[in-house]
Amino acid sequence: MSESPERPSTMPQNVDVVIVGAGFSGIGLGIRMRRAGYKSFVILERATDVGGAWRDNTYPGVACDIPSHLYSFSFRTNPDWSRMYAPGEEIWDYLRSAAREEGLLPHLVFDADMLRATWDDTESRWRIHTTQGDFTGNILVAATGHLTDPKFPPVPGLADFPGALFHSAGWDHSRSLSGKRVGVVGTGASAIQIIPEVAKIADELVVFQRSAPYVNPRLDRPFSESDRRLFRRDPSAMTEMRERLFWYGDYTFAARRLLPAFLQEARDRALGHLAAQIEDDELRAKLTPDYEIGCKRILSSNAYFPAMAQPHVRLETAALSSIEGSRAISAHGNSYEVDALIFATGFETYDLPSSHRVLGRGGRSLAEHWGDGGMQAYDSISVAGFPNLFLLNGPGTSLGHNSLIYMIETQIDHFLGAFEWWLSNGQPELEVSTRAEEAFGRELDRRAAGTVILHGGCSSWYLDPRNGRATLSWPDFAHRFRDQCEEFDPEIYTATA
């Protein structure tokens, strides 16, 4: 952070709570810890600044697809959002000033990549080995997120491509795309924001599409100075907007539950938008999804379809299958000469890299514990065999229909309940049983079975391909997550002290 003071030379190496990750989860938890008066914690961050996804994703056009008045902390609302869907940089700034103004800088350790976190059974604490030295904590919070580690498809010839090649989450701003022939791989949430921007400057643009996304109209608008002054003068105006957005999001869950009338309404909205923006029958057919709406993330954009209709933009309706020199070749055998290739191909989601680095009882990693059965956690937060470990924004938290910040805040409340109980009850080991973890996982499977995620005829990043479970997903109303998973119940956790 440019404004940050010098890092204290004596960062405490042994604390109550070690938080790994300084994105929305880690910063949110840090703020709530500070506000509650807790000081014995550190936040380890592998990069050089806070911000998580909003630090890493700097591609042209980056923005959140949840409106900013909802995609922000309820305990730190912001009257000054510039528009309904604020640009990514503004969200990053929001997190940076939150960290600074809430007094988190003394708790943050940057460039501290967690190489291994090991539960020490004798001392009953976590030992965290990082690129900035070792830390110990009674409690470990993995606020490591799940859209953090870029994923490239295994395309032969990728390593030998002579032009610019990068992932959407690692944009190389030193490589100008002006006047270039550019290939964009993918048509997901990042791609549809990137494509209209690249189309403005590239000479030619080819988009590799495995399956077409549903795209809704984006009800975006700038907030005027008058709007913002009202938000400052009367914060209840912000609350009302936040509420409206939240409950509308939960309304759209009815379509995810495959209710015919609501599915039809959702299809009409997205396909009506496509029909209104694309006149050409052939192009419209190519841009029409072949699976049920909601199976993959429903996107929103007013610029994507018009960009695809431009004469210098080509839509290739097949995956990129190989690269030969500077030619990008699709699974249909079509070949395109390109100067640059952008991979908007998403992130590791079902086999989280961080899960290989956290070792619980008996030295078993989270990844080993879960095995091919896939990720799960009691209340989406605690795992058997991993005492005093809490996962934020991990398995069973992802949503297609509402704001992740709501889920994160719910988990922060669960954690704080646990932490307060731990402090006032002799600091015992907090661990859930295999039975509790398993029962919770099966219950989520049961609910997911009634949703479009499993019945929509698509493969999405919510699914673990090894077992077909929607391990990343919370397959219910967002509000029900808070109703059911917010409260810490000491009886579920084994207290051994």
Binding site for another protein (CB under 8 A): 70, 74, 239-240, 242-244, 246-247, 250-251, 253-254, 257, 259-262, 403, 406, 447, 450, 476-480, 483
Pick 147 or 405: Cβ nearer another protein: 405
Shortest Å, Cβ 412 to another protein: 14
How far is it, in rounded angstroms, from Cα 428 to Cα 138? 10
Shortest Å, Cβ 266 to another protein: 13
How far is it, in rounded angstroms, from Cα 355 to Cα 358? 6
Are the beta carbons of 321 and 157 closer than 8 angstroms?
A: no
Pick 232 or 312: Cβ nearer another protein: 232
How far is it, in rounded angstroms, from Cα 119 to Cα 137? 10
Q: Are strands 125-130 and 114-120 parallel, antiparallel or unpaired?
A: antiparallel
Pick 5 or 260: Cβ nearer another protein: 260
Pick 149 or 220: Cβ nearer another protein: 220
Shortest Å, Cβ 125 to another protein: 36
Shortest Å, Cβ 15 to another protein: 31
Pick 75 or 152: Cβ nearer another protein: 75
Pick 85 or 477: Cβ nearer another protein: 477
The full length of the chain comes to: 497
Shortest Å, Cβ 450 to another protein: 7
For 356-366, give one letter per residue: b (16+ CB within 10 A) or e: ebbbbeeeebb
Shortest Å, Cβ 259 to another protein: 5
Shortest Å, Cβ 141 to another protein: 23
Q: Nearest CA to 60 among 461, 342, 299?
A: 342
Are the beta carbons of 231 and 79 closer than 8 angstroms?
A: yes
Pick 69 or 96: Cβ nearer another protein: 69
Pick 117 or 405: Cβ nearer another protein: 405
Pick 70 or 182: Cβ nearer another protein: 70
Shortest Å, Cβ 73 to another protein: 11
Shortest Å, Cβ 106 to another protein: 29
